[in-house]
Amino acid sequence: MNISEINFNQAKFLLSAAKLIHLPKDTGAEVAFIGRSNAGKSSALNALTNQKRLARTSKTPGRTQLLNVFTLNVDDRRLIDLPGYGYAKVPEEIKKDWSQVLDQYLRQRKSLKGLVLVMDSRHPLQDSDWEFLHWTEACNIDTHIILTKADKLRYGQQKNTLLGAIKETKKLSNNVTVQLFSADSKQGVEELQQKLLQWLN
């Protein structure tokens, strides 16, 4: 497969899955997006694919606890939108169910090549982010952190936030990379695309 053929603009919603058995066959390569609610995950997916409403599907009632699958224009290459974590409102029972599904997904899914972890650059590396990062470490999954809403920070603050996050995540044993991102200014969109192409290759 020639990865230069992948065109993120052609991402299309395929299905929502509550369980792993409802996902497409575990072949090829996929990248999953996750983050605290409101971190800017939907906006990042929309900016990545240059579509205004792509990730809206994942926000419709009933779909927020599901794995939402988007196909790309190359066979067997997918983007997966995972539910946001850190919802105070979600009942404990649902949280437990969901974390079991997520755990299975992270441990068992062979086509999962990497995770994009979305964080608000103004409040990076919160407790729930560390909880999740340690989970990716335990599952040895490559993780790429995008520090979103970078347009809200001045240049110097952006640099400090980026360097701080790189330093703090160095202690993890899995591959963790970090970049700045803004869905509003499109800063970092290309860098993110390059990372995904590496993984989807």
Q: Which residues bind ligand GDP (CB under 6 A)?
A: 35, 37-43, 84, 148-149, 151-152, 182-184
Q: What are phi and psi of 188, to 5 degrees?
A: 85, 0
By beta-carbon proximity to ligand GDP, the closer residue of 23 and 153 is 153
By beta-carbon proximity to ligand GDP, the closer residue of 74 and 119 is 119
Residue whose C-alpha is closest to residue 133's, from 154, 119, 149, 150:
119
By beta-carbon proximity to ligand GDP, the closer residue of 142 and 151 is 151
Nearest approach, Cβ of residue 100 and ligand GDP (Å): 22
First vs last Cα of the chain: how many Å apart? 8
Nearest approach, Cβ of residue 183 and ligand GDP (Å): 4
The helix (run of H) or strand (run of E) holding residue 194 is helix 189-200
Nearest approach, Cβ of residue 195 and ligand GDP (Å): 17
Nearest approach, Cβ of residue 162 and ligand GDP (Å): 15
Residue whose C-alpha is closest to residue 132's, from 15, 17, 37:
37
By beta-carbon proximity to ligand GDP, the closer residue of 74 and 117 is 117
By beta-carbon proximity to ligand GDP, the closer residue of 21 and 88 is 88
Nearest approach, Cβ of residue 89 and ligand GDP (Å): 13
By beta-carbon proximity to ligand GDP, the closer residue of 35 and 114 is 35
Nearest approach, Cβ of residue 185 and ligand GDP (Å): 7
Cα separation, 134 vs 148, whole angstroms: 21
The helix (run of H) or strand (run of E) holding residue 68 is strand 67-71
Cα separation, 68 vs 46, whole angstroms: 14
Q: Left (φ > 0), alpha (ψ -120 to 50) or beta: where does 85 sit?
A: beta
Cα separation, 41 vs 53, whole angstroms: 12
